[in-house]
Homo-oligomer: A and B are copies of this chain.
Amino acid sequence: MRSSNRASLERATLLDVLCSARICHVGVVVAGLPRVVPTVFGVDPNGPDSEGTLYLHGSVASRSMSDAPEQDICVTTTVVDGLVLARSAFHHSMNYRSAVVVGRPRRVEDADERIRALDAIVDQVVPGRSAHLRSHTRKELAATAILALPMYEASVKSRAGGPADDDHDIRQSDVWAGVVPVWEAIGDAEPAENLAEEIPVPDHVDALGRNAFRR
């Protein structure tokens, strides 16, 4: 495969893994110690950074993250696809797809980019939802620090397929072996207690359930 083909394939895989994940785990170093915090995120493949931009709320790890523009961070997203049950404990595993993006985030100051970033974060949770929401208020924008991470330094790891048992176990074992598929189930939307009764569940929310059971 030519390297340009491989690069675009890897980029497509990276975007696919990022888009499959609901949350990411952000790693920062605080006083020399690692801290890993779960948070929502957004992706703009055509963002202003090299190879696209990953957006985070700057408040994510509260004080530790407010130092982040001056330090590298690591953003990892992992989707579990299956439990791999082998004949031996040794070969038990997971089928999964995981993306890692590392780098030094910049604080997003540009007003238009801040709005696009917040929309990307909402649309990562519910694709298409941002278009249905009112504009951000000045107060809301002022209260939200946003960090942008270039998607340039990124990698994807994955495992798929059945267990990799040793030959003698395959021949001799009477233990069941195989894969138990795992995915994200989406339940019926539960309206907020204070929602006016005449407001129906919109299509972009219904679509979450329609698109969930892909197996």
Contacts and interface: CB of A to CB of B under 8 A. Distances in A.
Given A176-B191, A176-B195, A178-B190, 15 more contacts: A23-B96, A29-B34, A33-B72, A33-B74, A33-B102, A34-B74, A83-B208, A87-B134, A90-B143, A179-B190, A180-B189, A180-B205, A180-B208, A180-B209, A182-B184
Given A37-B76, A132-B175, A134-B173, A83 B22 contact: yes
A49 B61 CA distance: 28
Interface in A105-154: 118-119, 121-122, 125-126, 129-130, 132-134, 136-137, 140, 143-144
B90 A140 contact: yes
Interface of A: 22-23, 25-29, 32-38, 40, 72-76, 78, 80, 82-83, 85, 87-90, 92-94, 96, 98, 100, 102, 118-119, 121-122, 125-126, 129-130, 132-134, 136-137, 140, 143-144, 162-163, 165, 169-170, 173-196, 199-202, 205, 208-209, 213, 215
17 contacts: A22-B182, A27-B34, A36-B75, A38-B78, A85-B129, A89-B119, A89-B130, A92-B125, A162-B190, A176-B201, A177-B192, A180-B186, A180-B209, A182-B184, A182-B186, A184-B184, A187-B215
Contacts of A136: 88-90
A187 B180 contact: yes
Nearest to A194: B170
A184 B22 CA distance: 13
Contacts of A102: 33, 35
A98 B100 CA distance: 20
A170 B137 CA distance: 15
* Count of chain copies: 2
Contacts of A88: 133-134, 136, 140
A194 B170 CA distance: 7
A76 B38 contact: yes
A192 B180 contact: no
B96 A193 contact: no
A34 B72 contact: yes
